[in-house]
Chains A and B, each alone.
Chain A
Amino acid sequence: KAGVTQTPRYLIKTRGQQVTLSCSPISGHRSVSWYQQTPGQGLQFLFEYFSETQRNKGNFPGRFSGRQFSNSRSEMNVSTLELGDSALYLCASSLVGYGYTFGSGTRLTVV
């Protein structure tokens, strides 16, 4: 079966712009989480959605937001981009919140 699909794989944006990243979970998985990976901070939890509701949220500013659609696909949005937002953004899906499978990530570069 298909894995977790993240699009796009690579993205270059300018400071001040906004960006939307997409994640398609494994079919049947209703829980989707987002993580940010940077060299200095490692993998940090952004938020988790389950059945279109945000169930958990990490310690990120309000510029980071997300949503989940009825088909469990999820989008993450970052507004007013800063240089420090350059990172690998990973999405993970799970059937009932256990055993997450990660996608390959979207590499965002802010210039």
Chain B
Amino acid sequence: DQQVKQNSPSLSVQEGRISILNCDYTNSMFDYFLWYKKYPAEGPTFLISISSIKDKNEDGRFTVFLNKSAKHLSLHIVPSQPGDSAVYFCAASPSDTGANSKLTFGKGITLSVRP
């Protein structure tokens, strides 16, 4: 049972445009959500996170939106750059174990930013 779903396996956008990466979850116990970026042959790199008490968190070109009622979050990258091309993982953590101590990951979305 996939508790964190990234239904689109890939996304291609033009440089300078907005990239929107979506993620859905089913477990209502999830309280903390994170996005990681991964290049081939490297470990995931933390990008941005959001707690369930917020609906938006922004860090530079990256903004994460959380819709708790819909159990949906999205990562917006504006403007997109060729260096953003990577696999993006959505992850969630239940509140009872403390954020990040047990992460449930989606299967990832491959983002390609065309020059």
**Which are the 9 A-B pairs with shortest beta-carbon distances?**
A102-B43, A43-B105, A42-B107, A97-B101, A56-B102, A97-B98, A102-B44, A104-B43, A100-B100
User: Which residue numbers of B lie inside 8 Å of A, CB to CB?
Assistant: 36, 41-46, 89, 91, 97-108
Contact B42 A100 (CB under 8 A): no
Contact A43 B100 (CB under 8 A): no
Question: How many A-B pairs with Cβ below 8 Å?
Answer: 61
- Looking at A50, A92, A100, A103, which has the most chain B CB atoms within 10 Å of its CB? A100
A101 at interface by CB-CB < 8 Å: yes
Which residues on the B side are within 8 Å of A90 (C-beta)?
A: 43-44
User: A interface, how many residues as a size bin?
Assistant: 20 to 34
Contact B101 A48 (CB under 8 A): yes
A24 at interface by CB-CB < 8 Å: no
Cα A11 to Cα B45 in complex, Å, equals 23
A22 at interface by CB-CB < 8 Å: no
A31 at interface by CB-CB < 8 Å: yes
A25 at interface by CB-CB < 8 Å: no
